[in-house]
Structure formats: structure tokens, C-alpha cells
Structure 1
Amino acid sequence: MKFFRGVFLILILAFLFSCDAPHLNPADPQNPNNKIAQVDGYVLTYEQPRVAISNVKVVWKNQNILAYTDSTGYFKIQDIQRVDGKLVFEKDGYSKDSVIVKWNNQNSKRIETILLSYTFGDLDGFVFTKDQPQQPISKVKVFWKNSNVIVETNSNGYFKIENVPIRSGMIYFEKDGYNNDSLFVEWATQKSKRIDNVSLQHNVGSIDGFVQTSDLPNQPISNVKVFWKNQNAYATTNSSGYFKIDNVSIKSGMIYFEKDGFKKDSLYVNWTNERNKRISTVFLDYTIGSITGTIYTVALPRKPISKTKIYWKNDNIVKETDASGNFAIYNIPTQNGFIYFEKNGYSPDSVYINWGGKNSVRVEGYLNSNPQLDSLSIYTIVENRYPDIQRYRLQISAKISDAEINDIQLVYVNNPKLNINSQLIYNNATRFYERLFELSDLNISSMDEAIGENFNIIVRDQSSKLFNVGSSTIKRIIRQEVVIESPIDRAIATSKPTLKWKRYLPGFNFRYLIQIYTDEVSPILMWQKDYVSKDDIEISPNINLPVGDYFWVIWIIDDFGDRCRTKPATFTVK
């Protein structure tokens, strides 16, 4: 009987060890029961300062074993298989998290502290007026768009939006009488988010000020109609000249002032931030009048002058005459004063205005045209003579015009430093005022003394008024003489002689003027050629010279007209 019981026990054991179903073999060294372990750690808030989070659900996923953190954020899971796996952490109001646990043949594992972020939080802040000093604004509607949550600010301008998902988004602020505003809130982790103070700008306010007379002493003006054009709002001044327009949009614009018997006025109000805008005192002119007139030329027949500047000095008003020479200045106080007329090219003039109790005055002005310097030429002349003499002279030629015919009485050249005040003579042939000066005329012993000195051209008209119409200076004195090669010394030449000279290199730009004269007591100019190139060294006349004695000269002329003449070279044509 004992034998059969032993056999039965052996069969049962054989069955158990041969079964294909999952089993734990107590004799197997790989049996998990031989690798029982524990894992623990802490769960804190992600935000600083970090605080322990209790009742966090901690799940060991390998075996779906659950634990919770205590009041210190600590958890511990025991008697689990020592197989690498995942721990999952979750709690309402916090972000989920997980970690992979690698045992590394350890039976006890302390994981790194788990940090959970809030998923719901509070958003708060303050709303103030934008103008200074800033004041809190109550009953501002605050809209957190992410969650469609609306709250209002309290008497301190404070608002708080509670228990909303922590996520960046737009927040909006709105209240009647203020401009709407909004801002983007960057919100990622903090449970409590304080936004920067919000400043709202008034969009409705009041505008006020005073209206007074412009004459001294200034007096308040009552019953002035004040018109704020932006909203067609009206007010009238009281006995103190004060006005106030309430509940108007804060926006820059024009304000107008009007009362019978006074000049209308307006001003631009630059209105940006202030809720209450006090404008500068407005001064209205009363007993107003107008000045009209026409400006003509002095010269006969008198012609109207357009674009003449008309200046009413009392009120610093500037106008211009039209194409007919007419002007008009309206709405000005009837105070006696000067009116001035001015235009380029004419002598200024003025008229004294005496209103004499009238509200309109008509005047006529007559302007004398100024003489104009059309051209001015000042150049030196050096003439070489035998044996080695140089004669220095100065030529001044000025072309002057004046719209008033025969209005020029005198033209002279003036140089205070050289003590020169010499009249220029009008040349009917050239129509220039001109004069050829010797050194003695210039009160100098050498032409060098005049180089760089300003020679002023002064015109005196028939009314003895003087005009400095322009000036110029001596630019150069050409002393170096061209060397003539042939013909010279009464050499025999053909009727078309070839005139030769050595190349002239003075270091500045110039041209030649070649002249042939009869050699007699009163020489006659037979031929000349101007603007001969500086590169030429010979030339022949384009005429046949009659038999006789001649001499020829070369002039060097620079770009300023300064010139130098050679000594005469003689020849004979037979």
C-alpha cells in the first residue's frame, strides 16, 4: 500500500513538471520568487519653491500595482518582480509623467524625484488708467479667451481668473469710456500667473478753456459759440469766458470760435492721452477791418507788379499780389500801422495806414526797379615796349540794365582799401559803362597791390539811391612775353607773310590775338585774328597786304580777359 502511494506521488510530480501551462518551478534558479524587489521615491511640484504632492497615483505597469504618495510626496511599492518596467504618475490638476525603472541586479531602487507641473491655475492682475497719476479702474470686463471666462475688476482694479487650464493665450479688457486693449499671456508652468499692469486709455473726455479779447488788457468774452467739429458738439462761454464740452471722443481735431462783432478763430487740438483737455486761452480780435490795394511800377506807363510780398506788421500777416498786382488782407484789427511792399529786383516801399474809424482802407504802392548788373569784366593789360618797358593798365567794363528808362544817374567803381571811387563812362557803341585805368588812377605803384581786391560797382539812380550791384577782382597779371621769330627788324615779306613765334607755355589756358598795323605815325589796323589756338606757332593773314611798312603784335589773353602784348615786330612788303 505504501508502494502505491509513492508511485502515485511520483506520477503527480511528473505531470506538474511536464505541463505546458505557465508555472513557477520552485527548483528553477530563474524563478521570479527569487527576484522580489521594491521601488520608491518622491513626487514634488515643478514650480519653485518645490512642494510635496500627496495622493499622487503611482502605477507599476508591469504588474499593475498601485500606490499613492503620502503628505511628504513619498511612495513605496514592495514585493514586485525585479524586471525592468515603467512607473506612471498622475493626479488631477497636474501633468502626467512616467519613468523607466532599470534594476541593474538591485533589489531596491530609489528613482530620481518626479516633478509634476500644474495643469490648472489662476491668472490675475490690475487695470489702471493710462493718464497720470494712474488710477485703478473698476468694473473692467476681463475675458480669458482660452476658456471663455469673464470676470470684472474690483474697486482696486484687481481681477482674478481661477482654475483654468494653464496655457498661453489672449486676454481682453473692455469698459465703456475706454479704448479696448488686449495682450498675449505666456503661461506654461506656474500655478499662479500675475500679468503686468494693464493701462487703459480714456476714449471719452472733456475739453475746456477760456476766450478773451486780443487787445490789452485782455477781457473775457461771453456767449462765444464754441464748436468741436469732430462730433458737432457746441458750447457757449459764460461771463468768465469759460466753456466746457463733455462726453466727447478723445481724438485730435479742430475747434472753432465765433461771435458777432469778432473775428472768427480756430485751432487744432492735439489730444492723445488726457481725459480732460485744457486748451490754451483763445484771443479774439474785435473791430476788424480789411486793407486792399494794388502795386505798380514807378516807370511810366505804370504796370501792375505780381507776386509782391505784402507785409502787415501789426499782425505779422504776409500776402502776395495776384497777376493784376492786387492784394487784400481781411479780418485784421483796425490799429494804425505800416504796411510794407517788397519784391526781388525792386526797392522796398511802405505806407502808413490810418484807419480813421473806417473798417476798410485802399492803398496803392509804387516800386522802383533796381538796376541789374548783367555782366562785369575786370582784367589787366600789359604792353611790352622797347627797350624793356612794361606798361600796366586795368580795364573795367560793366553792363547794367534798369527797367526804369533813364533812371541810372551815375555808375562808378569803388574800392575803399585802395581809396578808389571813380566814375565809369557809358560807351554808346558797346553799351557798357567802362574805363581804362592807369596805375596812377588806382593810387598804386604796382599792379600787384590790386590783386585780390574787390572792385564794387555802384549805381546811383535819379532819386540818388545807391545800389551795390556786384563786384569782382583781378585774377592774373601776365608779364611773360611771347618771343616773335619772324618777320622782324623790317625783314622783306610777301603780301601774305607767315608770322612765326616760339611756343608759349605759361601754365594756364589762353588764346592768341594777332594784329598787323601800318608802320606810321598814326598806325592803321590792317588785319587781326582772334581766338588763335594756344597750340599754334605760326599764322598767315587771309588778305594781301599792299606794298609798305608794317608791324605786327601778339596778344596773350587768358580765360579772365587778362592780356599781355608783345613788342612790335616790323617788316616790309615789296
Structure 2
Amino acid sequence: MARPPLHRLYLSLPHAVPLVTRLAICVVVAVGLAGCLGDAPHSNPLDPLSDAPVTAGEVSGRVTGIYPPFDGRGGVRVRVMPQGGGTERVTTTATDGTFTLDGIPGGRILVVAEADGLAEASVETDVVAGSTSEVLLQLNALPVVTAQTARTVHIERWFPDVPVFRLEVDADVTDPDRPSDVDAVALVVESLGFRAPLTEVGPGSYEAALDAAALPGGQVQSLLGQALRIEVTDVAGAVALGPPLALVRVIEQTPLTASPQGLVTLAANPPVLEWRPAALPFAFTYRADVFLIDGAGIPNLIQSADGLSPATTTLPLAAALAPGDYYWTIWVTDAAGNRSRSKEAGFRVP
């Protein structure tokens, strides 16, 4: 196709016209020509002079775990917050951990991922109009307390002739990321500013036995009415708390043995253990323990009977005992596991 002819406009000005005047005339002519030609098109949506300019972009990303194979975490709440002010946008990740939010104003944003049982994670990024910003958030699973108990112990003894009061705590814990992620377990009483570590005694099982001297105020009774919590820390430093524990009571009363006692030599073997009935204002059971004292003077538990009815005050031993020195004790235990023990009652088998 032949090109249209090119028309040129020539201005003939007398040489006598000053230079400034010449320039002014050229400007007037150029402006007039621009008005005749019309405005340049603004069809590009990224052009700020467009009739429908694009001022927003898209945020897309994935939420995963912190360990390989970095599986996606579904059902996680994702919040996108413009840092220069504006409306917060919220969505939830798909089962594979992915999410997308469009219509996000251009500029600096904060993306936050959160869900129950997971440590919150966040990342800042920039949104450019008409483009997609990609983000990755890795969420650490919080450790979990699966079982916990706390109970008080009261023991009377002959030597030294001072009572023993103790707090015993047990906890089973795990971490959804992997069991080895558990780094430390402790008992905390926030109201008293108290914290004590628990020792691992088996895979995922922890315990502590705290004498009264190690407790606030030097007594177990100071914990009554307080909220006891099991605190678990994982290797990433995330901390989780188990539900509050409450001590029911400290059993101040102790049961009393009746016979045999006083290092008496048995006339009948096997013996019948007998104790005085305990008058307690709560439900309880008895437990009887029999110990043989070896040549080094160390007691060894040889028989135990637990869960005995509160109406029971005697326990015939089923088998004859070998010659030696023995002692036995009687416990009372309430429904919460709190217990109190008598002094030792010694006897000898000839």
C-alpha cells in the first residue's frame, strides 16, 4: 500500500524579526498543531492517566511446616495488612497450604499466618501494581501436653522425727512436628513467680518430686488455690502451656499402725497387719507396704496392697516371711492421688 504524502509546513519570517519573537511564534504554532492532532491515547492500564488505571496487585504464597518435606499446612488463617494504612484482607490456606489474595494496593505489606496449635509467622514484602508477589511462611507446630497430674505427699517418720511434705508432678508431652522437638519441660506457677524443671524418665514422660523447702514459702500448702501449669519449650524456642492444674488438698492427718510394731518378734508367721481406722472428711483408700531390711540396713519393698477399702483395718499377709528384720507402713490416698503415710512399724521374724 502506498504511504500517504507527507505535508510539511514552512514559515517564512523576515530576517529582521528578532530571535525571541521567532521562538515565540514557533511555540504558538506547535501548541496549535498539538490541539489539532488531539491527545495521545492512554489505553495502557498501567498508565496513571488511563481511564481505568491498575493500582493493585496480587499476593500469592504457601504455608508449610519447618522440617522436610515441608508439607503444606491447610486451614491456616492468612492476614495481609498494608503498612501504609488500608483495609486488612484475610483468607485461609487450601489443603496444600497455598493461598492467593488479589486487589492488594501497591506498596509495603505485612503477611501473617496463624492457626491454633501453631506458632505465628510473618513476612514483609512489596506489592507492585499489576503483578504478583510470592511469599513463603513456615509455621512451627507447638508442643502439646497430653497428660498431667500434680499431687501432695505427707510422710511421718521416726528418724529424723520431722514430717516430710512433697509435691509430685508428672507430665506426658509430645510435638506434632516430631517427638524429638521437645527441648524442656517445667512446672510454672505464674502467680508466685515459681518455675521448676521436670526430668525426662522415658520417651515423652517427665516428672519432678519437689520437697517443701524448694517450694514458695517453704511449704506445699502455699500452692493450694494456685494455678499450676506444665510449660513445654521446643528446639525452636516456641513455648506451650498445658491446662491449669489445681491441688485439691494436703492430707495433714496420718494413719496410725497398731500391730505388729515396736520391733516385736513375731509369734505367728505370716503376720496380720492391723491399723487404726482413719476418720477423714473425704473419700480415700488404704495402701500397706512391707519392707525387708537387708544386711546393709537398706529397706527393700517386698509386698504392697493398694486400693484397700476405708472400712478395712487389717491385712493378713498371704505367705510366711523369711527370717529377718522388717517394717511396714500404712497410707491413706484420696481420689486425686494426694496421700499421707504413717511412721514405720518394725518387727522381727525369727
Please tell me the TM-score bracket, short chain as reference: 0.7 to 0.9
- Write the mapping of 1:370-519 to structure 2, written as runs, cut at 5 A: 370-386=142-158, 389-405=162-178, 406-415=180-189, 418-428=192-202, 431-489=204-262, 490-492=264-266, 494-519=268-293
**In proportion to residue count, which structure has more helix?**
2
Give the secondary-structure state (helix, strand or coil) at the position aligned to 2:69.
coil
Shift of 1:491: 4.3
Amino acid of the structure 2 residue aligned with 1:567: K
Q: Which residue of 2 aligns with 1:289?
A: 57
- Tell me: CA distance 1:428–1:316, structure 2 relative to 1, closer, same or farther (3 Å): same
Q: Which residue of 300, 306, 315 corresponds with 2:68?
A: 300
Matched, 1:333 2:105: yes
Contact kept, 8 Å, 1:337 with 1:352, in 2: the verdict is yes
Matched, 1:311 2:85: no
Contact kept, 8 Å, 1:482 with 1:554, in 2: the verdict is yes
Could you tell me how far apart the structure 2 residues matched to 1:434 and 1:556 are?
A: 22
Amino acid of the structure 2 residue aligned with 1:451: L
Amino acid of the structure 2 residue aligned with 1:322: A
Shift of 1:369: 0.8
Shift of 1:508: 0.8
Q: Deviations 1:445-470 (Å, cap 9, x if unpaired)?
A: 43333322333333333233444444
Q: Deviations 1:474-500 (Å, cap 9, x if unpaired)?
A: 321112111222222334165543222
Q: Which residue of 333, 339, 347 corresponds with 1:563?
A: 339
Could you tell me how far apart the structure 2 residues matched to 1:515 and 1:325 are?
A: 57
- Tell me: CA distance 1:553–1:301, structure 2 relative to 1, closer, same or farther (3 Å): farther
Contact kept, 8 Å, 1:495 with 1:547, in 2: the verdict is no
Give the secondary-structure state (helix, strand or coil) at the position aligned to 1:546.
coil
TM-score by length of 1: 0.47
Q: Deviations 1:368-413 (Å, cap 9, x if unpaired)?
A: 0111122222211111112753111111222221123332322223
Q: Deviations 1:193-217 (Å, cap 9, x if unpaired)?
A: xxxxxxxxxxxxxxxxxxxxxxxxx
- Tell me: CA distance 1:303–1:555, structure 2 relative to 1, closer, same or farther (3 Å): farther
Could you tell me how far apart the structure 2 residues matched to 1:452 and 1:434 are?
A: 21
- Tell me: CA distance 1:537–1:425, structure 2 relative to 1, closer, same or farther (3 Å): same
TM-score by length of 2: 0.74
Amino acid of the structure 2 residue aligned with 1:338: L
Could you tell me how far apart the structure 1 residues matched to 2:339 and 2:107 are?
A: 63
Contact kept, 8 Å, 1:371 with 1:469, in 2: the verdict is no
Structure 1 spans left out of the alignment, 5+ residues: 1-259, 263-283
Could you tell me how far apart the structure 1 residues matched to 2:158 and 2:72 are?
A: 62
- Tell me: CA distance 1:500–1:298, structure 2 relative to 1, closer, same or farther (3 Å): same
Contact kept, 8 Å, 1:286 with 1:333, in 2: the verdict is no
Give the secondary-structure state (helix, strand or coil) at the position aligned to 1:448.
helix
Could you tell me how far apart the structure 2 residues matched to 1:330 and 1:296 are?
A: 21
Structure 2 spans left out of the alignment, 5+ residues: 1-43, 47-51
Give the secondary-structure state (helix, strand or coil) at the position aligned to 2:213.
coil
Q: Deviations 1:297-337 (Å, cap 9, x if unpaired)?
A: 11333222111111223433222222222222234334431
Identity %: 23
Question: How many residue pairs end up in the alignment?
Answer: 293
Could you tell me how far apart the structure 2 residues matched to 1:338 and 1:303 are?
A: 23
Could you tell me how far apart the structure 2 residues matched to 1:542 and 1:327 are?
A: 70
Contact kept, 8 Å, 2:56 with 2:130, in 1: the verdict is no
Q: Deviations 1:43-83 (Å, cap 9, x if unpaired)?
A: xxxxxxxxxxxxxxxxxxxxxxxxxxxxxxxxxxxxxxxxx
Contact kept, 8 Å, 2:216 with 2:222, in 1: the verdict is no
Larger radius of gyration: 1
- Tell me: CA distance 1:422–1:330, structure 2 relative to 1, closer, same or farther (3 Å): same
Contact kept, 8 Å, 2:81 with 2:89, in 1: the verdict is yes
Contact kept, 8 Å, 2:142 with 2:239, in 1: the verdict is no
Shift of 1:347: 0.3
RMSD: 2.8
Give the secondary-structure state (helix, strand or coil) at the position aligned to 2:156.
strand
Contact kept, 8 Å, 1:413 with 1:422, in 2: the verdict is yes
Give the secondary-structure state (helix, strand or coil) at the position aligned to 1:440.
helix
Q: Which residue of 1 aligns with 2:28?
A: none
Give the secondary-structure state (helix, strand or coil) at the position aligned to 2:163.
strand
